[in-house]
Structure 1
Amino acid sequence: MSYQFDVITTDVADAVRHVGGLMFDRNRAGWRVRVVTDDTAHRRALAILGAYVESPGQHGNASREPARVVRAVALPIGELNSAAGISEIGSCVQLLLWGAGPDSGPARPRPPIRQHLSTAAQIFKTQALRDVGLDPRAGPYEDFWPGKSFSAAASSRSVPSVR
């Protein structure tokens, strides 16, 4: 069994700001961290965090894909319904969204998931933030909105907590 963490974004700097620490911590825990994007401007920042880049629709080398993979996905809340986002989500056990919180509507919104970052993640995220030209202060946590696990076949299971 192997683990893969996919970050889907159109803006690498935004992903570094919102998910950079989690990318680093998942990589250090043995996960493969892949960023799916057309943004080619900040590959060095992703390398600092231990992530590799693929273009949307690119499926990598099938021979290196393990037979059983546990996947988690993070993406901006605004890209959840885009065709590119949905086609890349595939089947995942956890879907994390970043950005402005979802509209509450008639139902009470779920509280955000607070991912505490290791000291090393904060240090490496600081370097990656500098590399993309953003304020290099990395806090001790990153907040995400829980999504639902998603399958292209319309699965609707709940997302397990990352606490």
Structure 2
Amino acid sequence: MRFELDVLGGSVEDVVKNAGGRLFDRARAGWDVTVLIPKLHDGDVRPLQILGVRGVDLEAALTGPPRCPAAYLVAASLWVKDRRVRALVGSAVDSGMHTVMMWGEQCPLELTRRLVLESREMSSAARAFKAHAVAACGSDRTPTGFVENFRSATPIGQAALHLTSAR
């Protein structure tokens, strides 16, 4: 059984620029990473393939069979725009059964109180693959920095596990 991460973003470029390192590192660690994008076209998937993840149209995913990943990574801007994404993420946070991470400046106030700011240093391989994926998006800006920033909520059982193992 493999862990699953669902990434909900407004565009492939937004996902790659803000979370490409995290996606690559999770995929490399054996996770099944699925990026859900509104109006995803076949031409948009190359940057995702570079990172080792797959892309799915958001509409198809939200109207298809229910998904139950171990973790969600969500663009705050998409959360603001789409009530279905708000419902999905809100229930995931409320359940305490999923890790929920969010990127972006528009982090909603009701979630800001429940999500902790987290900075993750990307592996050197993730930085290299992210740079290639950003270039494949057609961006002329190469990503800089070694860190990606998210707000996150960890499931109750995992939080207890982390506290226990830290002793």
Q: Report if TM-score (shorter chain) is over 0.5.
A: yes
User: Hey, which of these two has a bigger chunk of helix by percent?
Assistant: 2
Give the aligned residue type for 1:146.
S
Pick aligned residue for 1:52 from 51, 54, 70? 54
Report % sequence identity.
Answer: 24
- Residue 97 of structure 1 corresponds to 102
Map 1:4-153 → 2, pairs under 5 A: 4-37=4-37, 38-40=39-41, 41-58=43-60, 71-81=70-80, 82-86=82-86, 89=89, 91=92, 93-100=98-105, 102=107, 111-134=116-139, 135-147=141-153
Cα distance in 2 between the residues matched to 1:33 and 1:2: 10
Superposition CA RMSD, Å: 3.3
Cα distance in 2 between the residues matched to 1:104 and 1:45: 32
Per-residue CA deviations over 1:94-148 (Å, capped at 9, x if unaligned) read 111111153669x978652111111000000000011112211342110001257
* Counterparts in 2 of 1:146 and 1:131: CA distance versus 1, 3 Å: same
> What is the TM-score with the length of structure 1 in the denominator?
0.73
- Residue 165 of structure 2 corresponds to none
Unmatched runs of 5 consecutive residues or more in structure 2: 163-167
> What is the TM-score with the length of structure 2 in the denominator?
0.72
After TM superposition, the structure 1 stretch with the greater mean CA deviation from structure 2, 134-143 or 8-17, is: 134-143
How many equivalent residue pairs?
147
Q: Deviation of residue 20 (structure 1)? A: 0.4
The alignment partner of 2:33 has SS state of strand
After TM superposition, the structure 1 stretch with the greater mean CA deviation from structure 2, 77-86 or 107-116, is: 107-116
Q: Work out whether residues 97 and 147 of structure 1, in 8 Å CA contact, stay in contact via their aligned partners in 2.
A: no
Q: Deviation of residue 85 (structure 1)? A: 1.6
Give the aligned residue type for 2:49.
A
- Residue 2 of structure 2 corresponds to 2
Q: Work out whether residues 22 and 122 of structure 2, in 8 Å CA contact, stay in contact via their aligned partners in 1.
A: yes
